[in-house]
Amino acid sequence: IEAAEQPDADTYYCIVQTVYFASLCSVFLCLIYITERRQNIGIRFRSSTASGVHTYLGKLIACVLTTWLSMILITGGLVLLLFDIKLDHPILSIALMMFTTLAFIAFGMLFFIIFRNTAASIGLLFVVIWFWGYAGGCFETYMLSSISQTVKQMSPLYYVNRTLVELSVNGSSNYLTPCITVLTLMTVISIALGMFITSKKKEV
């Protein structure tokens, strides 16, 4: 009987833990928001000619580029080389990881924009990401998880983890299209809301 090949522990957890910590990279922005609020820089933004969209994109692009550079150095240098992890479709897998970081940074920024308290923003973001990580297979393999499939599919990380692991082990994944769809919706909605709220706050 032919069966899909299963990943070993090194391959599985190197991939899913990289995804999990990449999903938390919006925390890079917390120092920016803390400094802005302590020094009332937001008042200067409101009085400047820069639009809310430009203010939002400046933070988003800076965080995304910082995260991508960190992932190139850390993931490329440590995970792939040190643990000898093989990616069957390296370009597709790397592109998917970069898309994942963009989606989760845009999502995480909403917490910093909506909530004035930075500690509350980080705490709530961690709660959401932790649940998604637990349901999505970041702490136990999604193959052996006792969590129902319905709950798993509530987690964007489940689609990313499953797609990347199956691409690495089997060379293909039926979850690739759903994964891209989920990340696209997450990115578009988060960026649209982020721009809208930032623009409204600038007008106040």
pLDDT one-digit tens code per residue, 90-141: 888 889 989 999 999 999 989 888 887 878 888 899 999 999 999 998 888 8
Give this prediction's pTM: 0.85
Find the length of the chain: 204
Q: What mean pLDDT do residues 76-96 have?
A: 75
Residue 89 has phi, psi (to 5 degrees) of -125, 75
Please calculate the CA angle 41-121-204 and round it to the nearest 5 degrees: 40
What pLDDT band is residue 203 in, cutting at 50, 70 and 90? very low
Task: Return the amino acid letter for 5.
Answer: E
Supply the mean pLDDT for the chain: 83
Tokens of 197: 């709220």
What pLDDT band is residue 204 in, cutting at 50, 70 and 90? very low
Q: Is the dihedral of CA 192, 48, 105, 132 positive or negative?
A: negative
Tokens of 35: 């400094």
DSSP result, the chain: ---PPPPPHHHHHHHHHHHHHHTTGGGGGHHHHHHHHHTTHHHHHHHSS--HHHHHHHHHHHHHHHHHHHHHHHIIIIIIHHTT---SSHHHHHHHHHHHHHHHHHHHHHHHHH-S-HHHHHHHHHHHHHHHHHHTTSSS-TTT--S-HHHHTT-HHHHHHHHHHHHHHHS--TTHHHHHHHHHHHHHHHHHHHHHHHHHHHH-
